[in-house]
Amino acid sequence: MERIAKARQIWSEKTAHNLRGALMRLAMDREDLLADIREKATDHQSLLRIIKREIDEAVLPRKMAILSDDAIEATLVTSNRRIIELRTNDIDQPDVNGDDTEPEVAALAYAQAIKKIGDQTAGVALQHIGRASKLQTSSTACSAAYLSEISETLEQGNRVHNFFRMIQTRAKGWVMLLSEGRDVYREGPAAILVRLDALERITAANRGSEGPLRRLDRVGSSCSAFPVAPGVQAIVATHGKDLLLAAVLNEDRVAIMEDWRKVFGNGGQGAEPNLKLGE
């Protein structure tokens, strides 16, 4: 009874809507279902919505094509409610379909490819090609929810940069690395920049190590505040491979951490569900 009561508490309108949609599709005739899958996307957002729906409903391995009027724009493989592989005709698109690719890099590449196809090609649709075979568990597998989260960051511009703009006037010095370290911004007194450079080296070494935090570090964004001198705190904000290091006064740290939560927070949805056991 207690479990049922708890289940009722977490029930939401969104869950009800998603379940209703899934049940309606389950009850559809084959032809209607194929027509529904072939729904044409008008822009990258509707293409993403269609792809997310198919990922979410695919348990067995499936291969699909993204079709425009005159070509196959991309093929994708889904399995176990995850996108396993995405191949496009775009020679500029990096190949991330390998086990040595980090999950967030793969998810970002998938999101960028979908955005590009949706923006550049009018009226694309998904079509099932058939079952996919010889699938191996891949570190690049990406859920619909994660794909959605990454796509959202593309919409919002760079979130680390947005956070930086919020705290810039309170920072006594900063080092910011964006676009996988290709863009570096730094400003402040030499004494502070020396400390922040040292912190950047330590942070890079920690990210490269295989510690117990490695898994958490890879999947999420975080922001730390810790003392580096009397009255001075270091702020370390990471999001994927973007990094912001700043020196701020002690009295500003709580407000700055709240600012970070305004940009990155999930609005108090609680801890990652798979990390928590039931009662």
Partner 1 sequence: MTVSECLDEMRSGVAGCSLVSFGDLKTGMVLRTSATGRHKQEYLEEIIQQAVLNFEMSDALFVDNGQAEEKGHSVIVATPDDVRIFVRSKKNRSDVVCCVCDRTEAVARVEAYTQKVFLKLSEKA
Measured from the CB atom, the residue of 54 and 259 that comes closer to partner 1 is 259
Q: Among 36-44, 58-66, 113-121, 228-236, which window interacts with partner 1 (CB under 8 A)?
A: 228-236
* Structure-token pair, residue 197: 């450079």
DSSP-H helix ranges across 121-240 = 144-155, 159-167, 190-208, 214-219
Q: Contact between 208 and partner 1 (CB under 8 A)?
A: no
CA 227 to chain centre: 30
User: Under rule CB under 8 A, which residues in 33-92 are in contact with partner 1?
Assistant: none
The SS3 assignment for 220 reads: coil
- Which of the ranges 23-31, 38-46, 117-125, 267-275 carries the binding residues for partner 1, by CB under 8 A? 267-275
Q: Which is nearer to partner 1, 79 or 153 (CB)?
A: 153
266 φ/ψ angles, rounded to the nearest 5 degrees: -95, 15
Q: Check residue 108 for interaction with partner 1 (CB under 8 A).
A: no
Which of 59, 98, 227, 251 is the binder for partner 1 (CB under 8 A)? Answer: 227
- Cβ within 8 Å of residue 51, ≥6 positions away: 66, 76, 83, 114, 126, 144, 147
Q: How far is the CB of 180 from partner 1 (least distance, A)?
A: 21
Q: Which is nearer to partner 1, 140 or 221 (CB)?
A: 221
Binder of partner 1 out of 198, 204, 249, 251 (CB under 8 A):
198
Q: How far is the CB of 16 from partner 1 (least distance, A)?
A: 23
**Phi and psi torsions of 229, nearest 5°:** -165, 160
Q: Is 265 in the site for partner 1 (CB under 8 A)?
A: yes
By CB under 8 A, residue 26 contacts partner 1: no
Q: What is the DSSP letter of 252?
A: G
Residue of the chain from 195, 242, 244, 252 that contacts partner 1 (CB under 8 A) = 195
Tokens in use for 150? 């990454």
Q: What is the dihedral of CA 93, 99, 100, 104, to 10 degrees?
A: 60
